[in-house]
Amino acid sequence: MTDAIDDTLKSLPQRPGVYRMIGANAAGEESLLYVGKAKNLKSRVSSYFVKSGHSARIQMMIAQIRRIETTVTRSEAEALLLENNLIKTLEPKYNVVFRDDKSYPYLCISGDPFPQLRFFRGKPDKKHQYFGPFPSAWAVREGINTLQKVFQLRTCENTVFAHRSRPCMLAQIGRCTASCVGQISEADYAADVKSAAMFLRGQQDEVTHELNAQMEAAAGELAFEKAARIRDKIARLNRLVSKQFVSSVADRDVDVLALVQTGGMIAVNIVVIRGGQHVGDRTHFPVKNASSEPMTDKELTGVLESFIAQHYIGREVPGMIVSTLEFDVEALAEALSTQANSKVSVLCNPIGEKRVWLQMAEENARLAIAAKQRQSDTGNERLQALIVALDLPEGTQRLECFDISHTMGEATVASCVVFDQNAMQTGQYRRFNIQTVSDGDDYGAMKEALTRRAARIAKEEVPHPDVWVIDGGKGQVGIAAQVLAEAGLHDIVLFGSAKGVERKKGMEQIVFPDREDTVRLPADHPGLHLIQQMQDEAHRFAIQGHRAKRAKAREGSALDDIEGIGPRKRAALLKQFGSVRGIASASVEDIKRVPGISSELAERIYGVLH
C-alpha cells in the first residue's frame, strides 16, 4: 500500500458515497479499475487493504491500485444511482458490465378517438396507454394478435384509417370491427378498448363480468345482434384464458431474476410476468468481465445487485422484483421506488409460487449458458482451424468482415460485422452510408467505408481487430491494403474471400495482398465455415440497410414520376395522406378531394400506385 493510498484511507469520511479505484494501463496512463458504492466509505474502502481472504480477482485489482477517488452522496440510494451511471459510461476494468439494452418493446393503445393497437419502442407519450415492457418483439406481436381475435381493435395506421371507403380484409375475417367505415359506434369501440386494457392488466375475471353485463343489457334492449357479438367475444376470451397454462394469481407485474454461474460463465435470466401471465423470458450475459475465474457467493451477489441497477434505472420498473440471492435491498428498492413514483418491492429467496418462478428462471439461465458454450466451442474450433490453415498470428481473436450493397449504384451501404470471443458480436455491427460515390463504384465505396473504420480504430474509439476479411477479390483487397497502410495499421492481417463467377459456397478463393497464389480450403473445412458465416452476416446486414435506405429515398420519388404532379401538388397529397403508402391506400374519390387534384389526375395517380 502506497503512502498516497494510506493518506486517502485516513481522510475518508464515514458517509455514503461512491469510490473509484484508479491504476495504470500498459502505456503508463491512468486507467479506471473499479467503481463501487458504500453506505460507509471509510469502512468499505479500508476493507480492501486491512482484510485478508480476497478472491484472486480482487487481489489482482488491489495490486494495481495507484490512487483512490471518492464522491460523497446524501444517501446510499443516491450512491447507487451515481455508481450505475459511472459503470455504464466508463466501463471500469473490474466491474461486471451488462449490455444497456433499452430497446424493450411495448404494446401501445393510442389515444385517438378510435384507438389503434400497435407495437412500440422508444420514449412513451402520455396521451397513449403502454403495456410492458415485454421480453421480445414476438411477445408483443402475440399480444396484438390475441387482442385482435378477442376485442377486434384496429391496427391500421391513422392515414389509412382516415381514408378507408370500405372494410379491410381484417374486418372481413373477424379481426376488426371496421370502425373506419362506421360499423361500430365510438362508445362501443371505447368499451372494447377498456376491456382490452383491463385484460392486459390481468383483470380477466373483471372483463368477463363486465362483458356478461353488457350482453344482458343488450338483450334487455332487444338488441340481439349486439348481444350475440358480445356472446362471441366472451367465448373467444374464455377459450384464450383456458389456454394460459402458466399464470400467477398473486401479483400482476413481476420480474423474476436468477443469476447462475456454471462452466466459467455467468448469466442472468429474467422471467417476465405481466398482468398475471407469463409472457416470456430473456437471458443476459456480461459484455465486460475482467476475470474468467469463478466468483465467490459474495461477488455474485454484488453482480446481481449491479445488474438490477444497470437494467432498471432509467427504465419502467414492475411492482415487484424477485431475485435468487440475498442482499441488502433497502437502497435499491428506495431508488427504484423513487424512479417509478410507486412502491417497488425487491424480494430475495422467496417461497411458494414465486419460488417456482425462480426455479424456472434458474433453469432458463443454465440452458442459455449451455447453448452459449456449445456456440463458443464451435466458434473456437472454427477460429483455430482458420488460424492453422491461413497461418494467422497466434492469439488471433477479433475478426471484422466488410461488404457492400446497392442497386445499380443507388442507396449504397457498407457493412462491418464482428467475430470476437468465439461468436458473432451483433451488438458491435456497424453500417456506413456511402457518400462519396453514387455510380456503383464498389472500389470507391469500399475505400470510404474502410477509411472511416480505420480512423476509428486508430483513435481507439473501437477495439483493435486482429484480422480484416473483405468480401471480394484482389481489387477490393488492394484497396483495403492501401487504407491500412495510410492509417498506419500495419499489424492488422488482411485477406479477401472471392466467391467467383458462379458464387457457389465451397468454391471461395482466399486472396492475400502480398501473395500471388490464392488459397482454397476444402468445402467441409471449419475455417472456411467461419469465413462463410462472416460473409453471410456481412451481406445480410448490408442489404438490410440498403433496402431501408432505398425505400426511404423512393418514398417521394413515386409521385415525381407521375405527369401533372409538381412540388405543390406533391406536398398537398403528402400532407393529406401522410405518405405514399397512405395515398396508395386511398380510393380515387379520396384523392380527388385534395385541392388541385382533378378527376383525370386522381385516376392517373391511382393507376400508377396500383
**pLDDT, tens only, 453-495:** 999 999 988 999 999 999 999 999 999 999 999 999 999 999 9
Please report the pLDDT score of residue 99 as a whole number. 67
Identify whether 133 is preceded by a cis peptide bond (ω within 30 of 0).
yes
In the structure, what pLDDT confidence band is assigned to residue 244 with cuts at 50, 70 and 90? Answer: very low
Residue corresponding to grid cell 378517438: 113
**pLDDT, tens only, 378-432:** 999 999 999 999 999 988 999 999 999 988 777 899 999 999 989 899 889 999 9
Residue 119 φ then ψ, to 5°: -80, 140
Q: Which is more confident, 196 or 578?
A: 196
Q: Please give the helix or strand (H or E) that residue 141 lies within, else none.
A: helix 137-151
Q: Which is more confident, 248 or 523?
A: 523
**pLDDT, tens only, 537-578:** 999 999 999 888 877 666 556 676 677 887 788 878 877 777
pLDDT greater than 60 at residue 363: yes
In the structure, what pLDDT confidence band is assigned to residue 243 with cuts at 50, 70 and 90? Answer: very low
Measured distance CA(200)–CA(188) in Å, rounded:
19
Of 270-274, 384-388, 553-557, 598-602, the range with the lowest mean pLDDT is: 553-557
Task: Indicate the fold that domain 254-369 takes in CATH.
Answer: Nucleotidyltransferase; domain 5 (3.30.420)
Task: Indicate the fold that domain 561-609 takes in CATH.
Answer: DNA polymerase; domain 1 (1.10.150)
User: Residues 592-606: what's their mean pLDDT?
Assistant: 86
pLDDT greater than 90 at residue 596: no
- Is residue 81 within 8 Å of residue 313, measured between CB atoms? yes
pLDDT greater than 60 at residue 251: no
Using DSSP's 3-state secondary structure scheme, residue 564 falls into: coil
User: CB neighbours of 241 closer than 8 A, spacing ≥ 6?
Assistant: 204
Of 147-156, 210-219, 234-243, 376-385, the range with the lowest mean pLDDT is: 234-243
**Any idea what the Cα angle at residue 456 is, between residues 454 and 457, rounded to 5°?**
65
User: Residues 42-63: what's their mean pLDDT?
Assistant: 86
Of 80-84, 328-332, 498-502, 536-540, the range with the lowest mean pLDDT is: 498-502
Please report, for the chain, the start and end positions of each structural domain, with discontinuous segments joined by +: 3-77, 106-243, 254-369, 399-552, 561-609
pLDDT greater than 80 at residue 58: yes
In the structure, what pLDDT confidence band is assigned to residue 290 with cuts at 50, 70 and 90? Answer: low
Q: Which is more confident, 382 or 588?
A: 382
Please report the pLDDT score of residue 333 as a whole number. 86
399-552: CATH architecture = 2-Layer Sandwich (3.30)
Among 58, 55, 76, residue whose Cα is nearest residue 21: 58
Same fold, 254-369 and 399-552: yes
pLDDT greater than 50 at residue 590: yes
Please report the pLDDT score of residue 609 as a whole number. 75
pLDDT greater than 60 at residue 240: no
Please report the pLDDT score of residue 565 as a whole number. 82
Measured distance CA(263)–CA(266) in Å, rounded:
8
DSSP code for 247: B
**pLDDT, tens only, 138-181:** 778 877 887 787 788 898 888 788 888 888 888 888 788 899 98
Specify whether domain 3-77 bears CATH 3.40.50.10490.
no
Please report the pLDDT score of residue 539 as a whole number. 94
**Which DSSP string corresponds to 110-130?**
--SSSPBEEEE-SS--TTSEE
**pLDDT, tens only, 104-144:** 788 889 989 999 988 888 777 788 888 877 777 777 887 78
Please report the pLDDT score of residue 433 as a whole number. 92
Please report the pLDDT score of residue 292 as a whole number. 61
**pLDDT, tens only, 1-37:** 677 788 888 888 899 999 999 988 766 778 899 999 9
Please report the pLDDT score of residue 451 as a whole number. 95
Of 104-113, 285-294, 435-444, the range with the lowest mean pLDDT is: 285-294
What pTM was estimated for this model as a whole? 0.63
- Is residue 22 within 8 Å of residue 31, measured between CB atoms? yes
- Is residue 373 within 8 Å of residue 265, measured between CB atoms? yes
Please report the pLDDT score of residue 535 as a whole number. 94
In the structure, what pLDDT confidence band is assigned to residue 247 with cuts at 50, 70 and 90? Answer: very low
Measured distance CA(447)–CA(152) in Å, rounded:
52
